[in-house]
Chain A
Amino acid sequence: MFKTKTKLIKDNKVYSRPAVGSVILLFGFILLIASIGLAISVGAAKINFITVWNSILNYDPSREADRIIVSLRLPRELGAAIVGAAFAVSGAIMQGMTRNPLADPGLLGLNAGASLALACVFAFNTGANYFTVMMISFIGAGIGAGMVFGLGSMSRGGLSPIRITLAGAAVSALLSSLGEGIALYFKLSQDLAFWTAGGVSGTNWAQLKLIVPVVIVGILIAVMFSRQLTILSFGEEVAKGLGQRTLLTKVVLMTVVLILAGAAVSLVGAIAFVGLMVPHIVRFLVGTDYRWIIPCSAIFGSVLMVLADTFARTVNAPYETPVGAVVAMIGVPFFLYLARKGGRKLS
């Protein structure tokens, strides 16, 4: 390797816009707060912004509005936010690692694996606490990912982005059918349907206490490794040439992906397309440097999920529309656009 590092980075056209990035991050954060505020205030019982603000600052259990906000709506919106961040960041990492613009935990079998694992938990161990549920869901996500990438490495010459997406679709179909079969066999389809289609509606503080630290640690690790991820996104040879220990980086990043996707699925069920869309939008805004992509993806993933959940809950009140369906309807046009581009270009 005669090229210097900066030369290589220039060749690969990493363009980072720190100023834009900071503005976007700040703007995204404000947007997130605003959308959570909006989400809390709309619904069956309308509550205005000032009440929301007051009840969060000084909670008074004797007021009805406060009880609704603190025990029902706030955990729900925080749940949506954390899940959105987890999906978006795991999608961003996968897109960078595999250089596949169509990568998404929902499309590559992780979510289906985690929900199959959930079905097994409900079938064989009804008394499982939330921590166990979450751990098993990581394992399921790992199995799903393992199957897709195993299939990729089995075929000669590896799989193109399009083929790996198809492999993901097949693995997802298989795992979710197995999950559905188990659910029907053990007569727990209602529990499970609540779990998967109910979205974040059942989120409580106990779940949040477990999932929030896990997701935040996952995102922090992702941010710490974001520099390596940027280099990895040039391709394995380049990364090796720059002296990166690619295997270590890949193992760490893949673990983060599994943890994030598993944790998110254990809370909300299998939702695809958040991890697909958000990193693309963010990349368009802040460039191809993952040090900016990852935090921005986290923020915008949260915003997307909070808004999608609010829409899902209000569009056909008092019935809940599955939030996964809402996200799919937004996400698919995006997916089709990327598929049309043929999955050739990453950035």
Chain B
Amino acid sequence: MMNPSQVKRIRITTIVAIVLLLAVFIISVATGFASLTPAELFRTIIGQGTPRENLILFEFRLPRIFVAILAGMGLAVSGAILQSLTKNPLSDPGILGINAGAGLMVVVYIMFFTVETSSFLYVLPLFALAGGMITATIIYVMSYIKGEGVEPTRLVLVGVGLAAALYGATLTLSTRLDMEDYSFMANWMAGRIWGDDWTFVLSLLPWICVLIPITLMKSNVLNTLNLHENVSIGVGVNTGRERIVLIMMAVALASASVAVSGGIGFVGLMAPHIARSLVGPRHQAFLPVAALIGAILLLASDTIGRVILDPSGIPAGIIVTIIGAPYFMYLLAKK
């Protein structure tokens, strides 16, 4: 089925992506307020760092880096699933409004619970998930027209509109918060990676570790669903059920990611596209590459934002949008 040169290409691309991610990781540790040189980093990792170095690496940098990597992977895979299912190259959990729905539930959560790190934090992704699911359902119902089905461009348009409304609702609710919670929420919406504690890594990790392998296992289903509907039915895929399961997984990945990382769009748009152009459309090959690219994109954006404006940083979401929106326009003009 695949010739050796293709296999080689996929292997090389994956390795390059991993190396690149490691490079961004080292740069991220080495730059900004309270940084570690690569030599110090190496020393600290093998357990011979000074208390200061340990503190910087294990308490300040690593949690945030892990959140960026995990969220980047989650968003990228979510975007890849959505693009394949809707057969629409413009799909992305941010553009479709799923992030905005999750955001609305995040503000609801903040109104009732505190944002301080506590055991409640593990509940936050569940709240975000509920928001994301409801939004996805509304979008699907709204863009379904009897006889025509769900036309991909209309789906995106409905998502864009719904995102605006949800954003408005979130903003309205956040004015009821006190100053501290409000500024938290404003930062969340701008896409600042706020989870910079190991608790956040732990609250995100299970989602990513469970859902991404399942998605990979479903690669063949995704391959066939990406073909014409009749073909999928012909090769024995229960399209209706698989579709719903996959959509739920995409929504869950996106919601869990943004609950911790803030409202970040365009990662889910760009990463799958870049991956597909590098290794081709087979999901077995391009999903892992997309996940790696998503992680690189988000970690790099967070690092850039941190370097430009030390120490508070420009939210990663803003940097990602500045890179991602032109990409979206390019896709729109090309098609």
Q: A interface vs B, CB < 8 Å?
A: 151, 154-155, 159, 162-163, 165-167, 169-171, 173-174, 177-178, 180-181, 184-185, 193, 197, 272-273, 316, 319-322, 324-329, 331-333, 335-336, 339-340, 342
Query: Does B318 belong to the interface (CB within 8 Å)?
Result: yes
Beta-carbon contact of B172 and A173 below 8 Å: no
Beta-carbon contact of B175 and A316 below 8 Å: yes
- B322 touches which of A174, A326, A328, A340 (Cβ 8 Å): A174
Which residues of A are found within 8 Å of B161, using beta-carbon distances?
Answer: 332, 335-336, 339
Query: Does B111 belong to the interface (CB within 8 Å)?
Result: no
Chain B 315-328 near chain A by CB (<8 Å), digits 1 or 0: 10111011001101
Beta-carbon contact of B332 and A163 below 8 Å: yes
Query: Does B169 belong to the interface (CB within 8 Å)?
Result: yes
Query: Does B18 belong to the interface (CB within 8 Å)?
Result: no
Beta-carbon contact of B172 and A326 below 8 Å: yes
Query: Does B20 belong to the interface (CB within 8 Å)?
Result: no
Beta-carbon contact of A316 and B176 below 8 Å: yes
Beta-carbon contact of A319 and B175 below 8 Å: yes
**Which 5 A/B pairs are nearest by Cβ-Cβ distance?**
A328-B168, A332-B165, A174-B325, A325-B168, A177-B321
Query: Does B90 belong to the interface (CB within 8 Å)?
Result: yes
Beta-carbon contact of A166 and B171 below 8 Å: no
Beta-carbon contact of B329 and A177 below 8 Å: no
Which has the most chain A C-beta neighbours within 10 Å: B154, B157, B328? B157
Which residues of B are found within 8 Å of A329, using beta-carbon distances?
Answer: 165, 168-169, 172
Contact status of A322 and B175, CB under 8 A, knowing A155-B333, A163-B332, A185-B314: yes
**How many chain B residues touch A (Cβ–Cβ < 8 Å)?**
45
Which residues of A are found within 8 Å of B265, using beta-carbon distances?
Answer: 173
Beta-carbon contact of A322 and B172 below 8 Å: yes
Chain B 189-227 near chain A by CB (<8 Å), digits 1 or 0: 010000000000000000000000000000000000000
Contact status of A167 and B329, CB under 8 A, knowing A339-B157, A340-B154: yes
Beta-carbon contact of B168 and A340 below 8 Å: no
Query: Does B156 belong to the interface (CB within 8 Å)?
Result: yes
* 20 A/B residue pairs, CB under 8 Å, sorted by A: A165-B157, A167-B329, A169-B95, A173-B321, A174-B321, A174-B326, A177-B325, A178-B322, A180-B190, A316-B172, A316-B175, A316-B176, A320-B175, A322-B168, A327-B168, A328-B164, A328-B165, A331-B164, A340-B158, A342-B151
Contact status of A325 and B171, CB under 8 A, knowing A151-B332, A162-B153, A177-B318: yes
- A328 touches which of B156, B167, B176, B326 (Cβ 8 Å): B167
Give the complex CA separation of A155 and B333 in angstroms: 4
CB nearest to A164 among chain B residues: B332
Query: Does B46 belong to the interface (CB within 8 Å)?
Result: no
B173 to chain A, nearest CB (A): 9
Beta-carbon contact of A170 and B325 below 8 Å: yes
CB nearest to B186 among chain A residues: A193
Beta-carbon contact of A162 and B154 below 8 Å: yes
A117 to chain B, nearest CB (A): 17
Chain B 155-184 near chain A by CB (<8 Å), digits 1 or 0: 011101110110111011001100000000
Which residues of B are found within 8 Å of A162, using beta-carbon distances?
Answer: 153-154, 157
A308 to chain B, nearest CB (A): 11
